[in-house]
C-alpha cells in the first residue's frame, strides 16, 4: 500500500497554558521505519498520543490511514485505533500468572471471536516474534527481552499497519535491546510501518529516518 498512514498538518496540542506540540507537519508513509527522538519534555509523548489517537489535537488536522480523525466520533475512533494501530511500551504490561499465549490472545478479547480462534492467532503472533517455545511460560519465567517480545506479539496480533513503540528498549540491557530492535526491523520488512519513540540518539541514528523534536516543535529531519 502506498500513501501516508499518518499525516499531521499544522497540528498543535495545548494543555492549559502549556503548548506541548506546536504547528507540527509530519507525513509517515506505509512501510516506513523511523525514530521520533528528543530529550525529556520535547513533545515526544504528546506526538505519540496524537499519532496513536489517544488524544485529539487542539488545532490542525490528523489523518490516520486516510481517515480524518477530527471527523470521527469516539466510537469510530476506537474502531480505527483497534484496526490500525499497535502499541508497545517501555513497561511490558503483562498480566502476572497468565501464560504468554493467553496474554497475547487477550489482545483480541473484545473482537467477538472464540477463545480457540484467539489462541490460534496468538500462536501465530508468538511464532512471528520467535517465541514458539515459550508460549506456556509465565511472565516471571521470561527474560526482559522475551517479555518485550510477548508485548510486541500482542501489539501485532491483528496485523495493524502501524506499530508505535515507545522507548521499547528502555527497560532492557543492550543485548536484549538490540534483539528487540532487530525484531522491529523484521516486522518492518514484512510491511508494518514502525515508529520508535526514543530519547536515545544512537537508536535514532541507526534507523532510516529520524524525526527530531525540540521544545514541542519538529526540527529539520535527518534523512539517511
What's the pLDDT band for 18 if we cut at 50, 70, 90? very high
The Cα-based distances of 144 to 21, 26, 93 in angstroms read: 32, 33, 12
Q: What is the pLDDT of residue 100?
A: 96
- What is the enclosing helix (H) or strand (E) of 144? helix 144-155
pLDDT, tens digit (0-9, with 9 covering 90-100), for 142-153? 999 999 999 999
pTM: 0.92
Residue 114: per-residue pLDDT = 83
> At 2, is the pLDDT very low, low, confident or very high (cuts 50, 70, 90)?
low
Categorize the per-residue pLDDT at 59 as very low, low, confident or very high, splitting at 50, 70 and 90.
Answer: very high
Tell me, what's the pLDDT at 223? 55
pLDDT of 174 above 70: yes
Residue 222 has pLDDT above 90, yes or no: no
Going by C-alpha positions, the residue among 180, 182, 205 that lies closest to residue 35 is: 205
Residue 139 is classified by DSSP as G
> Which CATH number is 55's domain given?
3.40.50.300
> Beta strands of the chain (E only): which ranges?
4-15, 18-29, 33-37, 59-64, 67-68, 85-88, 162-166, 193-198, 209-214, 217-223
The domain in which residue 160 lies consists of 4-223
d(CA 223, CA 210): 7
How many domains in the chain? 1
Amino acid at each position: 500500500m502506498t500513501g501516508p498512514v499518518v499525516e499531521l498538518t499544522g497540528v498543535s496540542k495545548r494543555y492549559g497554558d502549556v503548548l506541548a506540540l506546536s504547528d507540527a507537519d509530519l507525513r509517515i508513509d506505509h512501510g516506513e521505519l523511523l525514530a521520533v527522538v528528543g530529550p525529556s519534555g520535547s513533545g515526544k509523548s504528546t506526538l505519540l498520543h496524537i499519532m496513536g489517537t489517544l488524544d485529539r489535537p487542539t488545532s490542525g488536522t490528523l489523518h490516520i490511514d486516510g481517515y480524518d480523525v477530527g471527523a470521527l466520533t469516539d466510537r469510530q475512533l476506537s474502531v480505527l485505533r483497534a484496526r490500525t494501530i499497535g502499541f508497545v511500551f517501555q513497561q511490558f504490561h503483562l498480566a502476572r500468572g497468565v501464560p504468554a499465549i493467553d496474554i497475547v490472545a487477550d489482545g483480541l478479547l473484545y473482537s467477538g471471536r472464540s477463545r480457540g480462534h484467539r489462541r490460534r492467532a496468538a500462536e501465530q503472533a508468538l511464532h512471528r516474534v520467535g517465541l514458539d517455545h515459550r508460549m506456556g511460560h509465565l511472565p516471571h519465567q521470561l527474560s526482559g527481552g522475551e517479555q518485550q517480545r510477548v508485548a510486541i506479539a500482542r501489539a501485532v496480533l491483528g496485523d495493524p499497519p502501524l506499530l508505535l513503540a515507545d522507548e521499547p528498549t528502555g527497560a532492557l540491557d543492550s543485548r536484549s535491546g538490540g534483539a528487540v530492535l532487530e525484531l522491529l526491523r523484521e516486522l518492518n520488512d514484512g510491511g508494518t510501518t514502525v515508529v520508535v519513540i526514543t530519547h536515545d540518539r544512537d537508536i535514532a541514528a541507526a534507523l532510516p529516518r529520524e524525526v527530531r523534536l525540540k521544545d514541542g516543535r519538529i526540527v529539520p529531519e535527518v534523512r539517511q
